[in-house]
Amino acid sequence: MASQATLLLQKQLKDLCKNPVDGFSAGLVDENNVFEWNVTIMGPPDTLYEGGCFNAIMKFPEDYPVNPPTVRFISEMWHPNVFRSGNVCISILHSPGDDPDGYELASERWNPLHTAASGGIRILPLSLLDHAWSRDGG
């Protein structure tokens, strides 16, 4: 029997294919594993990433959507929120609740109401690539 997370991810990927997000595409790394997605993010216009095509792996935990996916760029990526390993560190991908270090508000972090599309996928191109490195410096 499929887990709730499996069924939810299958539905979310199907919905994403029916209603694509501009500048973003996703598919399964392995058709037998709905917990690991290949994602491609196109560099947003008017940023230093414009014209770029960035590939990443999005891995979902077994308790998704209670906890967020992880994202690791497999394309070379220079950004202050991306480690040398390609792992992404942004608030929306941090576990829900209060930040033990006090740097983030709970409202900035993952919550189980997010979906792969509304939380992770739409936030990545917007918060990671759009705002940090716009051509006008802002």
Q: Which residues belong to the active site?
A: 89
φ/ψ of 8, rounded to 5, equals -65, -45
Q: Are 41 and 56 in contact (CB under 8 A)?
A: yes
Please give, one letter per residue, the 3-state secondary structure of 105-117: CHHHCCCCCCCHH
Q: Is the peptide bond before 65 cis (omega within 30 degrees of 0)?
A: yes
d(CA 91, CA 133): 17
